Structure 1
């Protein structure tokens, strides 16, 4: 049962970030404008990095290959995003803290036995 719970947890947490990454890519101009509205420099570059980090990080967590790297990417995205965009909104702030906690669990315990990492043989 634990194997399946780990898989379901990864799917659920990755879905949120994958959807956000796709939405930011589709509405790229809006993403740039939101970043620029906070007074951040190089909004275009930050928007590109946002899409890349959200999609690659979520795919790593989702499929369970290099999941710890994907989780760290998403944590690295969440910390500044939470500070810049959500510090004044307690609901979003605590949601993001919960997401960071879930991602830290992936870092600490790995993706679990139902993952791409588990199907690979260790390199020698």
Structure 2
């Protein structure tokens, strides 16, 4: 349930910027006049519209979530600073609070961006799988090297003149004895019984 809620929250936050960007794209002249009205350069309208659209699509699919979340948080705070700074006007104060809430939501998304059902989480999962496979391969190679070294050591020991090759001890005489014939070892053999 948490995963579904996080996905819906991410999509709803992104939709706000997607709709805003599309509106700015279809009304570039009005957006440009609003931007120049607060003293910003006039050629920002198209760039802002494209930024909102591209960023929103990236958030919907969970692509570069942390980057776009922090950029949108900063964008929302800059919007309060430039456009909604007159807190005596109730409409401007409401718009400022809305943008502050959006910035807070984006900061939460920045903090918890590695959620399932996103491109970023798939990349992290695949990286983890590759690292696990590489660690398993290294462990397998180390086991093979150890087995080869052990085999070489046994061959050298058996071929050294004057040494007696080790005689394998049968499993039945490994130090335990079954006194009541129930196939369960009952007591440890004494050293003189092992010969």
Normalising by structure 2, we get a TM-score of 0.59
CA contact under 8 A between 1:60 and 1:69: conserved in structure 2? no
1:5 corresponds in structure 2 to 5
5+ unaligned residues in a row in structure 2: which ranges?
Answer: 87-91, 132-195
Point out the structure with max Rg over C-alpha.
2
CA RMSD of the aligned region, Å?
A: 1.5
Give the structure, 1 or 2, with the largest relative contact order (CA under 8 Å, sep 6 or more). 1
Runs ≥4 residues deviating over 3 A: none
Change (3 A) 1:36 1:92: same
Matches within 5 A, 1:101-112: 101-112=104-115
Higher helix share: 1
CA contact under 8 A between 2:79 and 2:99: conserved in structure 1? no
CA contact under 8 A between 2:24 and 2:46: conserved in structure 1? no
2:116 corresponds in structure 1 to 113
1:35 corresponds in structure 2 to 35
Normalising by structure 1, we get a TM-score of 0.90
Cα distance, 1:55 vs. partner? 1.4
The reply on whether 1:75 has 2:78 as its aligned counterpart is no
Cα distance, 1:73 vs. partner? 1.9
